[in-house]
Amino acid sequence: MSRKTLRVSKIKNGTVIDHITGGHALDVIKILGITGHVDGVVTVAINVPSKKLDTKDMVKIEGRELKAEEVDKIALLAPHATINIVRNYKVVDKQRVKLPSVIREIVRCANPACISNSKEPVQPTFYVDSEEPLRIRCHYCGYIMEKQDVLKQF
């Protein structure tokens, strides 16, 4: 068993988020709403040497499988991440996150005057101009949001 496999499969049940861009693990923790008051073990590894990226971060969450919406949010801030679902020490599902070219619902426009922030029944919609660094553009008002604007909402 390779060292990498060993690292990933150490938890019994849960999710291992691997290949997070170095330094972004804490953003991922924030997106997932993990605080000091969770049940189960959460392990964070920061600046692990990586072949694919210079350094990478990893987050292991015992006893929790991520929902599709949570995976989409992670794609916004860690576009190279892989999500491994672990059951009984085995990786049963492995997928790379994918940032769609159009993002709906998961973020709101940071422009308070935008129609998507009014009471109109308008679905927030953004176009991805750049994945890294993140730049998304509002369909309605053209406002451009960057990583920090998005992070504030989680």
Binding site for Zn ion (CB under 5 A): 109, 111, 114, 138, 140-141, 143
Q: Which is nearer to Zn ion, 77 or 109 (CB)?
A: 109
Q: In the complex, what is the shortest distance from the CB of residue 100 to Zn ion, in angstroms, rounded to a whole number?
A: 18
Q: In the complex, what is the shortest distance from the CB of residue 116 to Zn ion, in angstroms, rounded to a whole number?
A: 5
Q: Where are the beta strands (DSSP E) in 22-153?
A: 42-49, 55-62, 82-87, 90-96, 102-104, 125-130, 135-138, 144-146
For 109-142, letters b (16+ CB in 10 Å) and e give bbbeebebbeeeeeebbbebeeeeebbbbbbbee
Q: Which is nearer to Zn ion, 20 or 126 (CB)?
A: 126
Q: In the complex, what is the shortest distance from the CB of residue 104 to Zn ion, in angstroms, rounded to a whole number?
A: 13
Q: In the complex, what is the shortest distance from the CB of residue 141 to Zn ion, in angstroms, rounded to a whole number?
A: 3
Rounded Cα gap, residues 60 and 49, in angstroms: 17
Q: Which is nearer to Zn ion, 88 or 123 (CB)?
A: 123
Rounded Cα gap, residues 105 and 91, in angstroms: 30
Q: Which is nearer to Zn ion, 53 or 141 (CB)?
A: 141
Q: Which is nearer to Zn ion, 32 or 143 (CB)?
A: 143
List 138's β-bridge partners, or say none.
126
Q: In the complex, what is the shortest distance from the CB of residue 134 to Zn ion, in angstroms, rounded to a whole number?
A: 16
The Cα-based distances of 44 to 18, 62, 102, 123 in angstroms read 10, 12, 30, 34
